[in-house]
Amino acid sequence: MENNAESPSIRLVAVLEIGSTGIRLLVAEITGKGEWRAVDSAVKPVVLGRDVFTSGQVSHSSLLECLAVLRNFQELLKGWGVAGGDVHLIATSALRAARNREMFADRVYQETGYRLAIVEGIEENRLMYLAVRFALKQIKGSSGDPSGDKNETNNLFWRGNSIIIDIGGGSTEIMLLRQGRMVAAHSVRLGSILTDQRSLYARGSEWSRERYLTEGIKNTLTFLKAEMDLSQIKTFVVTGSDTRIAASLIGSEYNKNSGVIDREKFLFFVKKIQYYTVEECVQKLHITYGDAEGFVPGLLIYKGFLEQTKAAQVVALGVSLREGLLIDLAMGFDPELQEEFFTQIIASAINLGRKYHFDEAHGRHVAALSMILFDALVREHGLNRHDRLLLETAALLHDIGMFIRGSGHQKHSQYIVANSEIFGIHREELEIIANVVRYHRGEQPSPEDIAFIALQREERIVVLKLASILRVADALDRGHSQRIPTIAIEHKSESIVIHTNGDIDRNLERASLEEKANMFQDVFGYKVALT
C-alpha cells in the first residue's frame, strides 16, 4: 500500500521492537498532531533473552535469526511504502544487558540500513507513561480530561495513589504516582525470561524460581516502600501481553484492547497455574508457545506486587512500548504535554529529596530564586526551556548530600543524584544535574574533576552556567530561612543588581554572595550586587 498522495499530512511510520522473546512490528498512520491509527502489526519469536541472560551476549545463531526476521519485516514495510527514515528500530532489556550490543547494532545497520536505538530503563518508563496516559484517556472518552468523574478507574488514577508496572523478559519498569503526580520511576532487573533462566542456572525447578522471585520482589519492595506506602495504592495498572492474556481468560473487557481482572480472581488464577510448565500453558490455556514461555513467572511477579497494595482490581491496558513511541512521534513538540512531563519530573525530584530527608522549604525556595535569575538572564546564558528544567531539578536537590554528612555535602549530593533515577531524566542529563549540584558551593571545576571532564564540551558549558546561577540563588537563602521572598534583576553595564523588598538585615546574604558569586563573574563577566 502506498502513502495517500492526496493526503500529504498523513504519513506511515513503523516501530520495530527487539525484545527478549521476539521482534514485534507496529505500522501506523499518523493523521495529525497527536492522532494516529494502527494499520498492521506482526511478531516473530527470537531467543535473545535466553542467550543474554545465560551467557551475557547474543549468540551468532540468534544474531542470524534476528537479521532474517528484520529482512522479512523490511520486505513487508516496502509493501506498505514506509520510507527508511520512518522506520524506528528499538531494543530493550535483553540488548541493554548484552556485552556485544554495539557489534549487534552495527551488523543490523550493515544488513538493513536501520539504526538501532537501545532504550534505557528510564526512557522506557517515559514511553510507557505516555502509552498508559493515552490508554486511560481513550477509555474515558474523547475529552481526555483526567479531572472528570465519569470513570471510577480514571478518577482513582489521577486523584489517588497508583502503580504502573510493565514486566518484560529481562526487566520490570515501575512507576509510583501520588494523586497523579510522579513519586518515583525505576527499572529493576527482574523479568519473566530472566527469572526462568536464573532458575535453570541454579539447577532448580519451581522452588528455585519461587525463591528467586521472592528475593527479587522483596529487594525491590524495600526501596519502593521508602518512597510510598504501598498499602495506600488503590489503582494497579499493568501493561504487557501476560496480563492481557490473563484478562482475556478470567477478566472482563474494558475497551477493545484492555481488560479488568478482579483482585481475588487474579490471585486465585495465579495460584492455580504457578506450577504449570510451558507445555501445560499451551495445552490448558490454549495460548502460543511464545506467549507461554514467560507467562507464569510474569504473572507471579505481578502477584507479588499486587499483594502489597489495596487495589481491588488489575487494570490490564492493551498498550506497549511501541504505542508509547508512536504517540511520541505523533505528538511531535507539544508545549502542553512538555509542561506536563516537566511537572512530573519535578514531582519525582522532590520525592527523591524526601527520601533523603532534604530541607524541602530551602530547596523549593532556592529553585524559585534560580528560576527568576534564569529568566532574567536569557540574553546572557542563551539556554533553553529544557536547560531551565535541569537547573530547577539541581536547585531542589543541591543539599541532598546533607543526608550523608554536612562537611563536603556537595560531593555527597553529586553521588546521590548521579546514582539515582528521576522520571523523565536520561542518564546523560542526570550527569549534568549531578555536576551542577557538585559545584553549587566550594571549588570551581578543575582538570582533576573526572566527572566534569568526562562531559562533552557543550555539556560542561551548560554546567558552568547553571551552577553559577545556582550559587547566587543559594547565597540568597544562606540561613535556610527564606528571609528574601522574591527578587528583581536589574542589568547594568558591568554588574547584575539584585533588588529585594522589605526592611530586613541582608548582611548574611551579602557576605555569602561575595563568597559564591565569583564563579558567576568568571562565566558571565558580570559582578553581582545585592541591594
Q: Are residues 77 and 125 in the same domain?
A: no
Q: What is the pLDDT of residues 16-38, one digit of tens each?
A: 999 988 999 999 998 877 688 89
Residue ending a domain, among 86, 118, 150, is 118
Predicted local confidence at residue 157, as pLDDT? 72
Comparing 187-201, 286-300, 428-442, the range with the smallest average pLDDT is 187-201
Predicted local confidence at residue 25, as pLDDT? 96
Domain span at residue 46? 11-118
Q: Are residues 89 and 104 in the same domain?
A: yes
Q: Are residues 274 and 416 in the same domain?
A: no
Which amino acid makes up residue 111?
E
210, pLDDT greater than 90: no
CATH number of the structural domain spanning residue 294: 3.30.420.150
Q: Are residues 256 and 298 in the same domain?
A: yes
Averaged pLDDT, 114-135:
90
Q: Are residues 166 and 278 in the same domain?
A: yes
Averaged pLDDT, 53-66:
92
Averaged pLDDT, 306-329:
92
Arithmetic mean of pLDDT over the chain = 88
Report if residue 374 sits inside a domain.
yes
Q: How many domains is the chain partitioned into structurally?
A: 3
Predicted local confidence at residue 133, as pLDDT? 87
Residue whose entry in the numeric block shows the C-alpha cell 546514582? 419
Q: Are residues 374 and 291 in the same domain?
A: no
Q: Are residues 268 and 347 in the same domain?
A: no
Residue ending a domain, among 118, 135, 151, is 118
Confidence of residue 83 (pLDDT cuts 50, 70, 90): confident
Q: Are residues 323 and 468 in the same domain?
A: no
Q: What is the pLDDT of residues 132-144, one digit of tens each?
A: 988 887 665 433 3
Q: Are residues 220 and 180 in the same domain?
A: yes
> Angle at Cα 341 formed by Cα 335 and Cα 342, nearest 5°?
85
Long-range contacts of 146-150 (CB under 8 A, 24+ apart): 146/180
Residue length, the chain? Answer: 531
Q: Are residues 206 and 171 in the same domain?
A: yes
Predicted local confidence at residue 344, as pLDDT? 94
Report if residue 3 sits inside a domain.
no
Report if residue 1 sits inside a domain.
no
For residue 304, what are the contacts with CB-CB under 8 A and spacing of at least 6? Answer: 213, 214, 217
Q: Are residues 310 and 339 in the same domain?
A: no
For residue 31, what are the contacts with CB-CB under 8 A and spacing of at least 6? Answer: 9, 10, 37
Q: What is the pLDDT of residues 145-176, one digit of tens each?
A: 444 444 566 666 777 899 999 988 888 999 99
Q: Are residues 436 and 512 in the same domain?
A: yes
Report if residue 360 sits inside a domain.
yes
CB atoms within 10 A of CB 102: 12
Bridge partners (DSSP) of residue 38 are: 28
Residue ending a domain, among 61, 88, 118, is 118
Alpha-carbon distance of 441 to 419, in angstroms, equals 20
